[in-house]
Structure formats: C-alpha cells, structure tokens
Structure 1
Amino acid sequence: MKINKAFHQYAGMLTLIGGALAAGNVHAQSEATECIAPAKPGGGYDLTCRLAANGLEETGMIDQPMAVSYMPGGIGAVAYNHVNGVRNDDPNLIVAASTGAAVNLALEKFGEYEADAVRWLGALGVDYGAIVVKDDAPWENLDELMEDLSDSPDDIAFGAGGTVGSQDWMKAALTAKSADIDPKSLNYVAFEGGGEALAALLGDHIQVFTGDLSELKSQLESGKIRVLASLSEERMEGPYADIPTAEEQGYDVQWPIWRGYYMGPNVDDEAYEAWAERLSELSKSDEFSQLREDRGLFPMSRFGDDFNDYVLEQVETFESLADEVGLKQ
C-alpha cells in the first residue's frame, strides 16, 4: 500500500531529524517534545503546531523548544498511519489535526485506521464557517436564501475552495440539509482556494460563497459582501458582532474549523491527561490569547475525553452525510 511505504520512509527521516533537534537542547524534561504537522511547511497544520510550540514556550510551560516535524502525504493519512504503526505509545508526541481530518476519516481516506484509532487530545483555536453573498444580493437573511434555494436550486450557484466532499462543500450541504433541501441538488462550483472563490462571488460568477469568518474581515470592512450567517454556536465579537448565527435563524447547523491535536493510541493515561491539562492551562493565558488572535483564530477549549468524544461524534455526523449523498466509494 502506497501510504504504508510513504510513512515508513518518513519514519526514518523523522528519527534523524528528531535526534538532531534533541541533541542540541539541554533536557529539563526526560525527553524532548515534538509536534508533527501532517503537511508541508507553511500551511494550516504548520500553524497548528506552531500555535502549541510557541505558546508553551512563551508561557514557560516547557523549558526547551518543541520540535516541529513535517510529514506530508495522503491529506494527513501518512502521519495518521505513522502514529498508529510506529509511534503509537510516544508520550511526548502530539500531531496537528483539524476538522478536515475528521472529514477525511469519515470518507475513509486514512486507510485501515478509523477515527477511534488515536487519542484525540484537544483544540486550542477555531475558525467558523460562514454563508456569504455579495452586498447587492437579493437575500437579506438565511431564510430568504433557503426559500429561493428550495424553489430553484439550479439557479443559485454555491462556490468555495474545495471539491464535493470537502469542508467547504460540507458547509453548503449541511446548511441545505437543515432546510430539508437535498444536498445532491446543490449547484456547487469548486475553486482552487477561498480567495479564488471569493473573487468569483464579487465577479458575479457564483451567488453564494461558503467561506470562513477569518478570511472575510477586509471584505466586511469594504462593504462588498453580506454575511447571512455564521456557522458558530453563538455570535462572534468585534467586526463579526452583527452577523447572526444560522441557529438563531432557525437552522441547526454549525461548522467549527478547529485546530487541535491527537496522540498515539497506546499513550498511557498519565501522559495523555498531563498533556490535556497543559493545553487547557495554556488556553487560559493572556500570552496565548494574543498568539491565537494574531493567527485569526477564535477561542475553543475542549481537552481530553471531552474533545475525544466531540471528534468521534463529528465524524459520525460526516459519515451520515457522506452516506446520504453517495460520497463513500
């Protein structure tokens, strides 16, 4: 299997990298800590690892820098297989994950290992989905959009930076489903990224953009867009304070894009609980609040068993939707 071959190759590379990094540090702990970003440098998983690494170091919760290693491949599958097959009991290793990992697990893209094959550790930040239209669109609220969508789904083009089955498509599909509209009836246009999709909205090539709140700030300030709903549990603060949630408009749909971590399946309870407590304390610090805000994230504090249960429930929701619209092969 290609995934297995790839992660064994990366395992050897990481052993060398980890040894080199550890050798250069004075050990205040028994072993150095490490975060694996399951992608190339510079992306969202890198941000997630750096969020923990920088936060823990700046608050003095670790005495030496946390090593950040990169393990791209299989949209996270290579790292997931590596942790299960090679480093399943490493008490000093955490791995970056996100809502995207939960989606891919639901779509069975991680090979033989399922969602409960690891110990989901916690989330330090979150972004939220949003239903966005142009400022001159005919819809003033989500009700008006859903009414027209129910009558003429082909006439309203949704667009976002991902194909059918992606996170951005899931936002549109779950919103439609909450209004008893068949997600398979959506007229959905896939773009290479959120920026391209937003440009298509402003250029009248699509009518609805399912993006993330954090990427909308400049457009909100310019008055070029109207956000019909945030897919958050409650209204956000600051520039997003006037945006109603989908739920307060009567639509039971939320889309948190969490930034979190997991550990190997055989990590003992003591190490797992110590990490959960460490991240929980980090999330409460003023220094970390600024780090999180600088990265365009909102607060999210779920740790330990609470977060583990949350992720598993989320995967079940995605599995049900994937089955309903025929996404599973």
Structure 2
Amino acid sequence: MNMTRLFAATVALVGATGFAAMADITRPECIAPANPGGGFDLTCRVVQIGLADQMPEPVQVTFMPGGIGAVAINLFNTTRTDDSNAIVAFSSGSLLNIATGKFGEWTENDVRWLASAGTDYGAVVVREDSPFETLDDVMAAAKEDLSGIVFGAGGSVGSQDWMKAAILLKSEGLDPKAMRYVAFDGGGASIAALLGGSIDVYTGDVAEQAAHIGAGTMRVLAVMAPERLDAPYDQFPTARELGYDAVWSIVRGFYMGKDVSDEDYDAWVAAFNAAYETEGFAQNQADKGLLPYNLAGPEFAAEMKAGVEDMRTIAREAGLLE
C-alpha cells in the first residue's frame, strides 16, 4: 500500500475507534531518565500535553535518574522490553552516550526509536549576578586561566553537555581536557548548582531557560545555534555571531523497549503523527522552547541510528574514542 494512504488510514482509524482500541495501551507513561526540572522532564511534558487528545488516559511522567539515561535503557532491555504503555525520553546526549559506550552493552539497535518531540540548541548560561557579563568575558578569563572557571552540566566528561563546553573552548584553541568540569544528573540539578554558586558556567539547553526568562536569576550569554532563534530567544546572540565557531543542536524524542509489538509501536506512531498535525502540538512545542522537528516511525529510527554513528565520529575527533 502507498505509505501516504496507509498513514491517512491509520490516523483515520485512531480518530474513529480510539487509541486504546488499536493496541494494548491503557496507562501511557513517559519515563524522564533524570531528576525533575531538566531537559528530559521538559521532553515528557511535551507529550503529556501534546498527546492528550490521542491517549486513552493522561500520560503520566515518571522520573528515573541514574547515569543520564543508563538506568532507564538498562531497565528497558531487561525487565520492561515489551512494555507497550511506556515511552522513554532521550536527547542527542543519549545518542552520544551510546556512541561512546556509556550505556554499557546497549547500542542503537537495542531500542525501538519512536518519535521526536522537537529540536533544541545548546546555551551558555551564568547567574544573573555573575561577573561574566558576556561570552567574551568567559573566553578571555579561560585564556588567562582556564582552571579558574568551573563549568558544569548534566553529564560526565564526554557527555553532550561536556561536548558543548569542549567545542566552545576548542574554537579558541584551548584544551577541553584542562577545564574544571562538574557533572550532575540532569539539567535541573545543574541549574540548582549554578544558582547555588557551585559552578560558574552552565552549558545546558536553551529550551530549559524558557521558565527562567524574565525571572532575574540567570543570564544566557549565547545560544549554540547556526543562526539567531525566533522569539523569545531572539534576544540572545549566537556563539557564532560573537566570533566563536561553536554550534550544537539537540534532538529530543522517545524510544520504546525493543520487544514492543508492531501493533503497539504503530499505534504510538499514529498518535504522534496525528498530534503533529494539530495547532496545539505546535504551540506546546513553542511553549517548551522547542523548534519543530516532527518525525515518527521507521524514518525517525533510521535518522537516530545514523545520528549515533555521527556521534562516534565527533567523539573520535574530541579524543574520546580511538
């Protein structure tokens, strides 16, 4: 059957018979593999609101911190491999963790990549009262004494957030391995550390800042996007326009256990595709600070597997892999 007609028929079936009638899905759950307040939390909130009309029940958000996703991927490769109710939030950082072996034996072929929530970009963030008023201030201080600045983010050395700081420093010929870096379990803990004074610079995600804009607690020095973003982020310069060739894009999405049935997987895919067509989902993305990137099913899975291979290349260039 033509794939366009198949998609249209599937969406029509969802609308006509209801989501639950298509599959064994009664208690939809989104696993955020970190503590509350960070990017994984944000990702799950996208579906909690954005898929409300496609779900038989409200999507519940469950927090599962540990290894920036390692605990979650282990669970869904051992005891919950066929759980049709649960989807797990991931980001480009998860792809990097797979590429660098931080998820142990589990690879890009051990989950069913489901759908995207949107895309995001890295951000360089300081406290509102920080002596670093601009990105130039940070970079000048780093050139003078890199050990005098404490960077921190939600992931260990070699993680996505570490890579953001690394490529920024490398853009000025500085050695990323010489920086003082403190790892936290997720963006929420990183932001708390920044506000508490434990770190000086947080290399997080711009979408995480949506709730803090105007609060007078943090200041975004630069966004790591190829060009300036739309409102409300148009007020922030990009690192590139400030003279630093540092770009980091972030895919946010969901995977399922590798033994989930085709019927249940296809039902989730159909629900996402139906939601993507609504104004409400687009507004929900915007409210969460995400840019549109709407893709579900096998095509999305192929892109994520290719993304892991790209991350392996980046990791080799950064000296993290031989």
Common fold by TM > 0.5:
yes
TM-score where L is the length of structure 1: 0.68
Root mean square deviation of aligned Cα: 4.2
Closer, same or farther: CA 92–160 of 1 in aligned 2, 3 Å: closer
Give the distance between the partners of 2:119 and 2:23, measured in 1 at CA. 32
Closer, same or farther: CA 174–276 of 1 in aligned 2, 3 Å: farther
Alignment equivalent of 1:227, drawn from 220, 229, 243: 220
Closer, same or farther: CA 253–26 of 1 in aligned 2, 3 Å: closer
Query: Paired residue for 2:31?
Result: 37
TM-score where L is the length of structure 2: 0.69
Pairwise CA distance, 1:102 = 2.3
Q: Tell me which moved more, 274-283 or 107-116.
A: 274-283
Query: Paired residue for 2:125?
Result: 132
Report sequence identity in percent.
Answer: 40
Alignment equivalent of 1:55, drawn from 40, 47, 50: 50
Closer, same or farther: CA 92–79 of 1 in aligned 2, 3 Å: same
Alignment of 1:1-329 (within 5 A): 27-32=20-25, 34-37=28-31, 39=33, 42=36, 45=40, 47-58=42-53, 61-62=54-55, 64-65=56-57, 68=60, 70=62, 72=64, 74-75=66-67, 76-85=69-78, 94-133=87-126, 137=131, 140-142=134-136, 145-146=138-139, 149-150=142-143, 152-160=145-153, 162-190=155-183, 192-200=189-197, 207-216=200-209, 221=214, 227-249=220-242, 251-265=244-258, 275-276=268-269, 278-294=271-287, 296-303=288-295, 304-320=297-313, 322=315
Closer, same or farther: CA 235–325 of 1 in aligned 2, 3 Å: closer
Query: Whose helix fraction is larger, Structure 1's or Structure 2's?
Result: 1
| Structure 1 counterpart SS, 2:301 | helix
Pairwise CA distance, 1:277 = 5.2
Structure with greater contact order relative to length (CA < 8 Å, sep ≥ 6): 2
Partners of 2:47 and 2:59 within 8 A in 1? no
| Structure 1 counterpart SS, 2:289 | coil
Closer, same or farther: CA 315–219 of 1 in aligned 2, 3 Å: same
Question: Runs of 5+ in structure 2 lacking a partner?
Answer: 1-17
| Structure 2 counterpart SS, 1:120 | strand
Closer, same or farther: CA 310–153 of 1 in aligned 2, 3 Å: farther
Partners of 1:40 and 1:70 within 8 A in 2? no
Question: Runs of 5+ in structure 1 lacking a partner?
Answer: 1-24
Give the distance between the partners of 1:243 and 1:184, measured in 2 at CA. 28
How many residue pairs get matched? 296
Q: Tell me which moved more, 269-278 or 155-164.
A: 269-278
| Structure 2 counterpart SS, 1:114 | coil
Partners of 2:35 and 2:65 within 8 A in 1? no
Instruction: Kindly provide the amino acid, as one letter, of the partner of residue 190 in structure 2.
Output: G
Give the distance between the partners of 1:190 and 1:275, measured in 2 at CA. 34
